[in-house]
Amino acid sequence: METDNLIYGFQGPHRFLSNFWPVPHGIVFDNVIYPTVEHAYQAGKTLDPRQRRAILNASTPGEAKQIGRRMEITQPDWEDWKLFHMEALVRSKFLAGTKLGAQLLRTGGAKLVEANTWGDRFWGKCHGTGKNHLGEILMEVRDDLRIQYTTWKRSV
């Protein structure tokens, strides 16, 4: 579903908003470059270098997610830290001056909702209910990119 003011689900032309989307410049976390936000997010759950390496070597973001779900979380205060971690990774994905940053800006003022059918009511909405933390982070990053762009444009 999409209107001028709503992007509901990160599919089709909005698939780039998904954490599964490959990032050409990579996502740096703890001095390691991961191919997607999902890989880096899952790696943040553990302090074990072997588990992080397994996540890094996962051939798909779905595989990285499965590894992350099966492993023991050893990151202290993970539940308190995971929102900050996700925001940092999303900001790293949508850098000013990159194609992905420009694509995010082109979503205009649309409300971004990570709609899903797999029951994730924390990062998105499932069957219309949920907190949509990923969508909220994306909109905040977009707003900050818009401010950066406007400031840069005025200074040129």
Q: How far apart are CA 133 and CA 139, in angstroms?
A: 10
| Closest to 124 (Cα-Cα) out of 41, 9, 16, 17 | 9
* Per-position pLDDT tens, the chain of length 156: 445 699 999 999 999 999 999 999 999 999 999 999 999 999 999 999 999 999 999 999 999 999 999 999 999 999 999 999 999 999 999 999 999 999 999 999 999 999 999 999 999 999 999 999 999 999 999 999 999 988 776 776
117: left (phi over 0), alpha (psi -120 to 50) or beta: alpha
Residue-level pLDDT at 50: 97
Residue-level pLDDT at 104: 98
Q: Where along the chain do its domains lie?
A: 2-155
2-155: which CATH number, 1.10.275.10, 1.10.357.40, 2.20.130.10, 3.30.300.130?
1.10.357.40
